[in-house]
Amino acid sequence: MVNETNLEELKSVQEHIQELSELLIQVVDDGASIGFMPPMTYSEAEQYWNHVLDPNVILFVATINGQLVGTVQLHLCSKQNGLHRAEIAKLMTHPQFRKRGTARLLMQLAEERAKKEDRSLLVLDTREGDPSNHLYSSLGFIQAGRIPDFAQSANGSLDATIIYYKLLS
């Protein structure tokens, strides 16, 4: 069976709500720092997805052999002084499908869409020490700073976050 990654933009989450919710639970329970604490319930995940889309949020998903294995969001800034920028949010890949280039493909797709939306600056943040730091650096994102004690982990420790940016040509 071919393990081809397919990428698409979702205009509605309803058709994929179960898969999206299960993905979110998997990555949160695996320790991802994306705003939630483990253990995550299905109802919490479903509630999140039911409220994620709005006109300034673009949601991309990745599937392999028909299974949803990753997502990323592009948040278009709607402030008058920020119409040139967007934020990358909630990049996640199912733990069983990591190290296959899915996150990189999702990030590249989000960047291309940002350019089509006439955005010249991308920003994001991620927990210090997470593998995603290497991905963002390899994609040309530049570390802008570090905020200590930004997010609490499941073990109660407070972790720093790293702020990244990328100027788009």
Tell me the C-alpha distance between 159 and 152, whole Å.
6
Which residue from 146, 142, 150, 105 is spatially nearest to 121, judged by alpha carbons?
A: 142
pLDDT tens per residue, range 105-164: 999 999 999 999 999 999 999 999 999 999 999 999 999 999 999 999 999 999 999 999
Q: Which residues of 50-59 are buried (b: 16+ CB within 10 A; e: fewer)?
A: eebeeeeebb
pLDDT tens per residue, range 58-75: 999 999 999 999 999 999
Tell me the C-alpha distance between 17 and 22, whole Å.
9
pTM: 0.96
